[in-house]
Structure 1
Amino acid sequence: MTSKIKNQRAIIDRQEVIGQLEALIASAPPKTQRRGLTLDIFKQAFQTGFDEVRRRFEAHGQGSETVRENCFLIDQLVRLVHDFAAQYEYPAGAATTGQVMSVVAVGGYGRGELAPKSDIDLLFLLPYKRTSHCEQIVEYMLYMLWDLGLKVGHSTRSVDECIRQAKADLTIRTALLETRWLWGDQALFAELKRRYRSDVAAGSGEEFVESKLSERNERHAKLGEARYVLEPNIKEGKGGLRDLHTLYWIAKYLYAVTEVGELVERGLLSGDAANRFAKAQSFLWTVRCHLHYLTGREEDRLTFDIQQEISRRMGYTDHGGTLGVERFMKHYFLIAKDVGDLTRILCALLESQNKRKPKLRFPLMHRAKKIDGFRLEGNRLDVTEDQDFEQEPIKMIRLFHSALEHDLDIHPRAMSLVTENLKRIDNKLRHDAEANRLFVEMLTSRKDPEVALRHMNEAGVLGRFVPDFGRVVAQMQYDMYHVYTVDEHTIQALGLLHRVEQGVLAEELPIASEVVGTLYSRRALYLAVFLHDIAKGRNGDHSLLGADITLKLGPRLGLSDEETETASWLVRHHLLMTRTAFKRDVDDPKTIADFVSVVQSPERLKLLMVLTVADVRAVGPGVWNNWKAGLLTDLFHRALDLMSGGIGVERREARVEAAQNSLRAKLVAHWSPEEIEAHLARGYPSYWVSFDAASHLRHASLIREAEATKAPLTIDSRVITAHAVTEITIYTGDHPGLFAQIAGAMALSGASIVDAKIITMTNGMALDTFVIQDASGAAFDSSSRLAKLTSNIEQALSGRLRFDRELAKRRASAQSRTRVFKVPPRVLIDNKASAGHTVIEVNGRDRIGLLYDITSAMTRLNLQIASAHISTYGERVVDVFYVKDVFGLKVEHERKIGEIRDMLVTALKERGLADPAGEAKAPRVSAAQ
């Protein structure tokens, strides 16, 4: 190890440190001061070495060198501390047999690799029993190393104890596999190595391999099975350093090798595989060193807030419409995929070399069964000859098809051969009718296509067979909304579509589960889900580009013209339903009419509904919730009604009359006719068509009680468990500033507004409904939090809350991860989306009180808000407001539109627009809406 380190004395000069220690002893300081002075010498040596190693890393950026240099530094310090303790603190004269000790590095440190902030694991090896002298040395060393700020794990054992515990505990067995002599008695260390090989490793290879692979699988399950999680753990996650170390442990345990290169010398591993191993390890070590240096701690999670800085330090720049950080993370994910390939290769090697062979052979009984031209070993498909894929490349497609159809695993040997023959998947094979038939059958299989497609993707086959898909393999989006890379998201969406079709998600996704069985264009739907994000990461609208790709790919795959056109339409419009449901007022008849004009048919509506559900649900954990499900369901039914000639086309007056008659029938038993008619007169037509019958009844009761008691403010809350939201209804005197005050109070209470309906009654009272959630996307249902929210609203409306000051405090104390992202502020003003309102869409980076800032700005612009639709996508907020001007009309004057745009962009950029002298006045809906 040390021979590879250049200019070792610049890291630590052993003789110089010894000279300093000898000079200290010669000066004969008081014993009470000697330890502190000794510690200062060691601290200076350590800090000088640490800084030198870091300087070299920042100059050359090679993590594989840095971990060796850090190891060298600690080796020398451990030896120096040991010698000082033995020579000056606890001299023993001639050591007896019982006083012999060996200092041994174990674990990763034993392997000769040490990241800047990693733990140091030491074994103090004794011949047979502990002596007071050895305990004194060990104790002195440990306290000195701890005082240096090092994290030291340690054990003190005899050889017999090591062997006994290694047999009983897999963790100890693995740690002792990587022992390295540091200092002390070498014969004792050699005895440990010999005993480990003969008493522990011999005859237990198969058990060790199975245990380590099982351990790996449990680790993956704990951290998230997907290799392409966008904030990966580079040590413990799938495809990370620990996976590479697992391969190394297995090879070392079985073959007693000291490095991967020895496997090549023995003909057990190809030179190409060994090179990939080295490149993967070097890249991962470099990233880990950057993480440790940047965070100043043992940090292994590659979080969003640090990805950008590491990508910059590693030289990744923005290029071709792709951010440098996205290019860096794509490289990381491809490395993780390489680690998966190496795992398969080595597993195949180990199985072929170490599988138990039966003592007796009966040729007729053990003749390998064949399926579709493949050999069946146990429940795994394998090739019959190593040249199968070279001679018939189509067999690489058929392998996955057969495995899916017969519910079989694929043998690691066959997967390794696939990897070696990927270049044979060329244009000829891509346009082979049989190959495309097999692929489409997998894509649309009644069995789970996710399994086959993931295996194809991990083997590299999917990206070669569909090159456009290959472009999005490991493609990340640098935001907090998307959890997986594009290819992983797509494959998960296909798996969700399959489960919807199987009916296993009927309770969670009822509408999609209900309509999926009535579809005529099933193959088009599966192709659309496969291709909906195929053009992500290119310059241009990925929906439009993806639709064009679909038109070209459909005929190649054997789809009919009708299926291809339907799939292309779905890809082009795969965001239409979420944009309409989450960002538009579905109570506005024009919203539904515009949506239906694009969708046109019930079949397309159903297809779009199922695709949308699969797409949103596959974004990541916690993204799908009952509130979003409710919005999509509402849009689906309203559109279907309009297509079917139902209530959506009734005259507005008829709908108002029907709503009033329904409420009249419910109130007649307890209200006088005069009370009923007075209440019905309070609502403008827009009120009666904006709420359902149950809401009308609740509002009637709330308003009656408020009017009877002459309460200046009435607040009602109800938790809607099915939608994971809380509905807050506020009845109070209408005045400018009301929306902003309520929004500010909710921000200070930790509530997120996801939807709002703003109504002014004919008596001048405001009846505002807010749908809120907590920060985690759950219903705001805690009684204490609701009480706090009510108190904040009361204080806000009475003028006792100073929002500028309180929100500034909240923002200053909040540790928001959104700060790392840049979201350019954008304001879109649309006078075509609604017949009676101007629609304003505001995009910006999320922050505490943003809605308050926006609505305060709208007040200054004399705008009146009829409804608000609030959506948050990770760090990005998309808020849509239906507004009118002070006269109750659309805003159509160009100068006014420009003024609105400029002021709202300023609101998005600045931290609050509240007037310190008097709170900002919020917009209101006009009385004649």
Structure 2
Amino acid sequence: MVDLEELIEDLIDKNANDFEISKLIKEHIKHYLSSLNEIFVENQGKDFLVKHTKQIDQFITIIYKYTLRKHFGNYMPFANAIPIVLVGMGSYGREELCVYSDVDLMVVYKAVPGYNIEPLIQAMLYLAWDAGIKLGHRTHRVEELCDASNQDLTIKTAMLESRFLCGSKLLWMETERELLKIQKWEKKSVITQILQAHQERREKHPLNMEPNIKEGVGGLRDANTLSWICKILFGSIRLRDLVPEVINEEEFKEFRSSLEFLYRVRSALHLSAKKKQDVLNLELIPDVANKLGFENKILKNAQMQLSSKTLSAMHTVDVTCKIFTQKLTSSLLCDIQKIKQLRQGRIEKGLYQVDHHVIASFKKPYPSLSVVLEQLQHFDDPRTTFDISYVHYIKNASFPPHNSKKTYKQFRALLFNPNMYTIFSVLYEANLLQQLIKPLKHILNLAQFDGYHRYPVDTHSLHCLYHLENINDTFIKSLFDDLCPEGKALMRLVVFMHDIGKGRKGDHSELGSKIFRVYAMKLGFSEEAINTGMILIRYHTLMSNTASREDIYNENVVLSFISKLQSPQILKMLYILTYADMNAVNDNIYSGFSAKLLREFYTFSMEMFNKEELIDETARRLRRENILKKSPEFLALSKALQKKTLSIQSNFFFLKQKSYEIVQIVKVADETPEESYRFHITNETHLGITVIRGKSFNIGYLLGKLSYLDLAHMDIYKLFDNKKYFQIDFNEKVNESDIELIRELVDNSFDMSKKVTLKKPTILRGEIDLDCEHSKSYALMHINTKNQNGLMAYIMSMFDEHGIDIAMAKIQTIKNRTRNLLLIEKTVGLCKNEKNVLDYFYEEGK
């Protein structure tokens, strides 16, 4: 900086103009700003801000000195004799100037007739702007300061943080006297305005996944507000000066540490964005994390560590500022009427309730955790709210390292309280909730970078509770109201703990259900309730995901869904959980459309619970699916083919085939072109024909040509991509010389014009039944009749002739009788003409 002054002197000697001077200063400022990344590595936090502020001080001082030199030449008077003083305000005055923040400068002067002050000030400001300093300035005569401060609250609070920069110290003393008047002027009115503006700002910038480090809840502006109040009341903006009278040493250290971290984050944020940026946007987090030295760990990468620590720091600043703002202002803002109300609402010494608002004396001795839980049981009115003074009272509650049975019993009692959201919120603010629910520590301030959730995991869980207690859908509210007291208590615990498995390695739903089981056992819930809770947490995303991603009008989708839930009661509770979860995610997630979709899905699912046989079958399929998913052969398939495999609708396909067989079939099917086919013939112990086709298959023709053989077994399954699988087994072998003829026959069977004359089999009335109510999409046909050559060839030919499509077939022949089960896709004509359809097969007159 000395070099800069010398260079300016050289330019002055050469009669350089203002443009050349400003250009030189601008180059030095640009060079300084370009070096900030390196400086930040060595000095972070408040130290970095102070050093940056001092550097800007020097640039402004040089500009001021040059301006004086320009105007006075060799006849410049002493600095104290020139009635000008430059004053830093706001963050600049606090020595907390961030990299790209505006430099708030106030120029105070006296209009002395002997000096041409105003043109001098104007020249200095123009030079500063030309040099590239982002100057936000105010210019006042010293006698105007009080009036100017009353124009706007922002001006007043900025003036409270005034700091002498350079100029006349004589005038600075006069300025300080005026600033003292501003500080003392109508304290109660000013503090009331500050608190009102404070509350409005916090409502505008709530804490979320992209927090505003400066203006948001728990941001630096909260700490500034506390400083302004301290300045007005005590003449000092340093909270440190109030230790230990107002804030104890431990609380101050925690608060100061959190502030220090937020200073670091804001500075890194400005450097990363290369502009004034106070919102920690998701796209900036990686670079900010890198600048702050975070490194990836097994469970948390650098970005998650940064977000979690930022949210934790903001939570500390938020609670600390609320407590001590109230502590400092309560006596000043209190009125006589409120004191009377407090006396009338006395619960016990130092504890009061006024208009359902619970207040504690700041002098009340800290309780034990057991006493806190006992107190909270009595606040069961949904209208009850808690003052921040109560948070202060319980924040330092004593408790042993491990919770006792009594503690768990007391906490369990709170779950029956209809005001649990408010109670959990006050315990959360006081940092007691993680002591009562130990697994909660893993999700505290845990970031969710899915572009879906608005809040971190812990806050999202609290919001879920809020929406559970404030259900706007009358039908869902009736479902919750119908639950028994233990059911409601379980529902509240499940809603709060549904994401408890996050922040760990593995599926958070599965892990969460296991964590829930351990904790619910400590609370003394019944085994039935615990199992219900586990299912709800394991499948807490299932209803919303299924409704939004799959065809809810497909009965196989519905069956797969409800088979996981086991009972209509769990479906009701999952519907309630889904409502609370979706509403807490973000404002636009639970929309009118999604509400309608979920209601329809719920209705279809509840109706399907009457199909007990299908549910059992689907449940067995799901067990086989889980085995398949773990098999090496399946895992070796592409993700796309895995998904196609699991989409196969036939349950019997999964129940009958082994894992390696399923994999082999779907691989062949995937490799088979849509307008082609593959087949394989075996003849070791009996003739077997396996066909996978993408084009139409004239199976009636094939069976007709082979009707001289005894059909023992046939399976037909729809696969995917309009492909079908056929397994046809006969009771006997054929001569090896016939194999080639059978190959030719199979090839010819893909010509749909081929016909074969078939003898109508003898089927008596009652030997075929058609269940059109089997499901919404399929009818079920049973055939139990005498085994006859050409029986299935005739039936399949009739199906082809009338356009009846078979989704699945199981053909078995035992003791000369055939027992066939055919799953047929419903058509309009099929079930309307059920009698006529059956008559096609019956022998006339029988």
Distance, in Å, in 2 between the alignment partners of 1:311 and 1:260 is: 29
Distance, in Å, in 2 between the alignment partners of 1:256 and 1:826 is: 69
Q: Deviations over 1:632-666 (max 9, x none)?
A: 223212111222469x99xxxxxxxxxxxxxxxxx
Distance, in Å, in 2 between the alignment partners of 1:829 and 1:96 is: 81
Partner of 2:605: 639
Match of 2:284 among 294, 298, 306: 306
Distance, in Å, in 1 between the alignment partners of 2:561 and 2:205 is: 41
- Equivalent residues of 1:235, 1:300 under 8 A apart: yes
Distance, in Å, in 2 between the alignment partners of 1:859 and 1:467 is: 52
Letter aligned with residue 10 of structure 2 = A
SS in 2 for 1:607: helix
Distance, in Å, in 2 between the alignment partners of 1:828 and 1:131 is: 90
Partner of 2:15: 28
SS in 2 for 1:612: helix
Is 2:405 the counterpart of 1:405? Answer: no
- Gap change, CA 1:143 and 1:54, over 3 Å in 2: farther
Match of 2:39 among 36, 50, 56: 56
- Gap change, CA 1:385 and 1:837, over 3 Å in 2: closer
SS in 2 for 1:405: coil
SS in 2 for 1:123: strand
Partner of 2:188: 206
Distance, in Å, in 1 between the alignment partners of 2:278 and 2:7 is: 37
Q: Deviations over 1:892-926 (max 9, x none)?
A: 9xxxxxxxxxxxxxxxxxxxxxxxxxxxxxxxxx9
Letter aligned with residue 563 of structure 1 = A
Match of 2:523 among 543, 557, 560: 557
Distance, in Å, in 2 between the alignment partners of 1:64 and 1:494 is: 38
Letter aligned with residue 439 of structure 2 = D
Is 2:212 the counterpart of 1:233? Answer: yes
Partner of 1:811: none
Match of 2:394 among 418, 429, 432: 418
Distance, in Å, in 2 between the alignment partners of 1:579 and 1:883 is: 25
Q: How many pairs are equivalent?
A: 650
- Equivalent residues of 1:102, 1:124 under 8 A apart: yes
Q: Deviations over 1:253-297 (max 9, x none)?
A: 211114222222x73322222222321221111111111111110
- Gap change, CA 1:381 and 1:360, over 3 Å in 2: closer
Letter aligned with residue 323 of structure 2 = I
- Equivalent residues of 1:836, 1:890 under 8 A apart: no
Distance, in Å, in 1 between the alignment partners of 2:556 and 2:42 is: 61
Letter aligned with residue 275 of structure 1 = K
Partner of 1:143: 126
Distance, in Å, in 1 between the alignment partners of 2:6 and 2:79 is: 28
TM-score (norm 1): 0.64
Match of 1:325 among 303, 310, 323: 303
Distance, in Å, in 2 between the alignment partners of 1:22 and 1:562 is: 87
Give the superposition deviation at 1:475.
0.9
Identity of aligned residues (%): 23
Partner of 2:483: 519
- Gap change, CA 1:553 and 1:284, over 3 Å in 2: same
Give the superposition deviation at 1:389.
3.7
Match of 2:570 among 595, 604, 625: 604
Letter aligned with residue 411 of structure 2 = N
- Equivalent residues of 2:92, 2:104 under 8 A apart: yes
- Equivalent residues of 1:532, 1:546 under 8 A apart: yes
Partner of 2:754: none
Partner of 1:47: 30
Is 2:598 the counterpart of 1:615? Answer: no
Match of 1:267 among 245, 266, 276: 245
- Gap change, CA 1:357 and 1:488, over 3 Å in 2: closer
- Gap change, CA 1:574 and 1:377, over 3 Å in 2: closer
Is 2:402 the counterpart of 1:427? Answer: yes
SS in 1 for 2:466: helix
- Equivalent residues of 1:308, 1:325 under 8 A apart: yes
Give the superposition deviation at 1:589.
2.5
- Equivalent residues of 2:501, 2:512 under 8 A apart: yes
- Equivalent residues of 2:49, 2:97 under 8 A apart: yes
Partner of 2:198: 216
Match of 2:501 among 515, 527, 535: 535
Distance, in Å, in 2 between the alignment partners of 1:65 and 1:489 is: 35
The higher radius of gyration belongs to 2
Letter aligned with residue 112 of structure 1 = E
Letter aligned with residue 44 of structure 2 = Q
- Equivalent residues of 2:494, 2:533 under 8 A apart: yes
Is 2:123 the counterpart of 1:159? Answer: no
- Equivalent residues of 1:205, 1:253 under 8 A apart: yes
Letter aligned with residue 260 of structure 1 = L
SS in 2 for 1:441: coil
Distance, in Å, in 1 between the alignment partners of 2:113 and 2:527 is: 82
TM-score (norm 2): 0.70
SS in 1 for 2:139: strand
Match of 1:475 among 446, 469, 477: 446
Match of 1:109 among 92, 100, 123: 92
Is 2:434 the counterpart of 1:458? Answer: no
- Gap change, CA 1:431 and 1:114, over 3 Å in 2: same
Give the superposition deviation at 1:884.
6.0
Letter aligned with residue 85 of structure 2 = S
Distance, in Å, in 1 between the alignment partners of 2:199 and 2:59 is: 37
SS in 1 for 2:232: helix
Is 2:595 the counterpart of 1:629? Answer: yes
Give the superposition deviation at 1:154.
1.0
Matches within 5 A, 1:275-314: 275-314=253-292
- Gap change, CA 1:290 and 1:96, over 3 Å in 2: closer
Matches within 5 A, 1:44-193: 44-57=27-40, 59-60=41-42, 62-89=44-71, 100-127=83-110, 133-193=116-176
Tell me which moved more, 282-291 or 381-390. Answer: 381-390
Letter aligned with residue 441 of structure 2 = G
Give the superposition deviation at 1:219.
0.8
- Gap change, CA 1:367 and 1:223, over 3 Å in 2: closer
Distance, in Å, in 1 between the alignment partners of 2:643 and 2:227 is: 60
Distance, in Å, in 1 between the alignment partners of 2:347 and 2:527 is: 34
Is 2:224 the counterpart of 1:248? Answer: no
Distance, in Å, in 1 between the alignment partners of 2:18 and 2:718 is: 75
Match of 1:494 among 452, 455, 465: 465
SS in 2 for 1:257: coil
Give the superposition deviation at 1:307.
0.8
Tell me which moved more, 408-417 or 204-213. Answer: 408-417
Is 2:362 the counterpart of 1:396? Answer: no
- Gap change, CA 1:545 and 1:887, over 3 Å in 2: closer
Give the superposition deviation at 1:592.
1.7
- Gap change, CA 1:589 and 1:349, over 3 Å in 2: closer
SS in 1 for 2:496: helix
Distance, in Å, in 2 between the alignment partners of 1:620 and 1:315 is: 31
Partner of 2:836: none
Higher relative contact order (CA 8 A, sep 6+): 1
Q: Deviations over 1:4-27 (max 9, x none)?
A: xxxxxxxxx2x3222111111222
Partner of 1:669: none
Is 2:561 the counterpart of 1:595? Answer: yes
Give the superposition deviation at 1:311.
1.5
Q: Deviations over 1:392-424 (max 9, x none)?
A: 432223444445538454444442232223x52
Give the superposition deviation at 1:52.
4.1
Distance, in Å, in 2 between the alignment partners of 1:415 and 1:863 is: 72
- Equivalent residues of 1:838, 1:883 under 8 A apart: no
Give the superposition deviation at 1:117.
0.3
Partner of 1:19: 6
- Equivalent residues of 1:468, 1:534 under 8 A apart: yes
Q: Deviations over 1:93-132 (max 9, x none)?
A: 5599996211111111011111110001111112258998
